[in-house]
Structure 1
Amino acid sequence: MEEKVIVVEDDAFTRLTLVATLRSQGLSVVHEGGSASTAVLAAEELRPHIAVLDLHLGEGPTGIDVARSLRRQNPMIGIVFLTSYDDPRFLNANLQPPPAGTQYLTKKSVTSVDVLIAAMKNSLVASSVSPARIQLPAFGHLTDLQVETLRLVAQGHSNAEIAKRRFVKEKSIERTIARVAKALGISHDTSQNQRVHIAKVYFRALGLNNDDHQ
């Protein structure tokens, strides 16, 4: 691949490792950084062909914000997300959708540099064909409402608290949680065990070990 690449990742060690890996494969990394605004300005000048982005860039704009800005500059730019989140909605339920043709990789799924290189190549093809909704590695079968309920349950909110936030009855939340559990293949032993399993699924989806949030 001779295409120019920009890398936007706010963790310095991860960014350095990623850039070194890409350059070892002969790729031209023309910009590397952790700032959304700097990346957009650099892309305007450097005109990269592919952007490899983290989803969470700290406070302020997200990787999706960067991706949408880059696509406005250049509708043909390939977009690859390399993130710890199994689903972008776990970062923020109100995120705008990623641009069409986006390639979405979780860091745990990248077992070799070949996986990343393949996604970068696919991003160029995908950006040149008719728009299509991106396929997420997991949780794409859950609705936005179910994902938000999953997040709130994992954060320890009671059914009553979630119902108050939603301006609905508690029974409605119970039904939503039951649907989420069924979609995730979680059996209904007791309500408490079910919520614990839902929380574990959520934290694993964030790339956290079971003990990281305790």
Structure 2
Amino acid sequence: MKLIVLGMMKCNILLLLALFLYVNPLDAQLKYEKEHRIRKTQFPEHALIFIQKNITNAKRLKYYKEIDGSKTQFELKLKKDRLWYNIEFTEEGNFKNIEIEIQNVDVLDESYTQITTYLEQKFSSYKIKKIKQQYSADQEETEILNTAFQNLITPEIKYNLIVRGKKDSNSFEEFNILFNAKGNYISSRKSLPPNYDHTLY
């Protein structure tokens, strides 16, 4: 009898250990992102030179440092011609991409349908908080900036969505989800709560 009880206890312990170590493969693919507002003097010098040379007639410039897993990058947020832009730079201050905030009506119908189909399959409930049209640094930098500032739709653009979603019985969490121009899923990362915008590091 003691042997049976001991055997059952051993099985229960192994089962609990297995459950504890289990990781949802979808969550394992997620990267975590957190950004902090910083002073202009803390921004990479190479990026500041790029901004001075290429960005004119911009307002409300704000500087951020973003930590995405083990990777660090920098981001400039600004308003130009009544539109909001985010310009991302590598840790060294090299131009990475530029994003423009848009509305869902600005996304091609077929692409938006593809995006919402993915979100409905991924979450039991969700809300799209923000959509950004992204132009990546796969062309000459000034050409990308000109295209972005004209808000042109090209086959190379991506859609970066900030989504507040809930999976089954879990609580709501915020995700940064990237799609290509056709609305096909590319990658996800979970956003940690940002520090208040007025906090400087």
TM range (shorter): under 0.3
Q: Which has the higher contact order (CA 8 A, sep 6+)?
A: 2
The structure with the largest helix share of the pair is: 1
| Higher radius of gyration, 1 or 2 | 2
Give the number of the structure whose residues are more often strand, by fraction: 2
Q: TM-score, normalised by structure 2?
A: 0.27
TM-score (normalizing by structure 1): 0.26
